[in-house]
Amino acid sequence: MATLNDYLLVSGLLFAIGLAGVVMRRNIIIVFMCLELMLSAANLTLVAFSRFHVTANGLPDYNGQMLVFFVITVAAAEVAVGLAIIVALYRARQTIHTDELTSLKG
């Protein structure tokens, strides 16, 4: 049976992959997907903690899982807004490569 550490390891890996993607990939859609991956990593952690934290009456601590639902809801909304921004961006600039989106350069 998998231990808490295994779950945390997987979640950490997922988070690291997500972060690496955000930092390194140039395609903004992939960056966006990697962001989602990081959220999922966080969710996985929360669920794992919830499952392994047994309360006085023998049930898992569901507070963590409640939080996950909120995260998923907010993430869904965020995806909608984020994709809309990306579409608008593409219409304005005809590109979704972060290398070419540097108009904020000082």
Partner 1 sequence: MNLAWLLILLPLAVAAANQLVLKKTGLAPLISTASAIATFVLAVLLLGKNETSHFAWATIGDFSINIGYKLDQLSTGMMIVVTGVGMLVHIFSLAYMKEDSAKARYFTGLSLFMFSMTGIVLADNFIMTFIFWELVGLSSYLLIGHWYQKDSAADAAKKAFLCNRIGDFGFLVGILMLWGITGHLAFDSMKGGLEHFIAANPLIATGVISAAVLCIFCGAIGKSAQLPLHVWLPDAMEGPTPVSALIHAATMVAAGVYMLFRLQFTLGFEHFEGLTASTVIAWTGGITSLVAALMATQQDDIKKILAYSTLSQLGYMVMAVGLVAGEAGMFHLFTHAWFKALLFLGSGAVIYACHHEQNIWKMGGLLKKMPITGFTFLIGFLALIAVPGFSGFFSKEQILEAAHEKNQALFWIAAGVAVLTPFYMTRLFVVAFLGKTKSENADHAHEVGPLMFVPLLLLAVLGFAAGYPAIASKLAPAYHQPEHLIHLGLVTYVSIAALIIGVVTGFILYTGKDKDPVSIPLFQNRFYLDAIYEKGIVRYFQDAFAMIISFIDELLITGLIVNGSSRAAASFGNLFRKVQSGSLQGYAFCFGLGCLFVIYFAVFGH
Residues that bind partner 1 in the complex, under the rule CB under 8 A: 19, 22-24, 26, 28, 31, 98-99, 101-106
**Within 13 Å, how many C-alpha atoms sit on residue 64's CB side?**
17
| Nearest approach, Cβ of residue 105 and partner 1 (Å) | 3
| Nearest approach, Cβ of residue 24 and partner 1 (Å) | 7
Q: How far apart are CA 106 and CA 91, in angstroms?
A: 24
Nearer to partner 1, 57 or 103 (CB): 103
Residue 6: name the closest of 51, 66, 67, 63 by CA.
Answer: 51
Nearer to partner 1, 26 or 54 (CB): 26
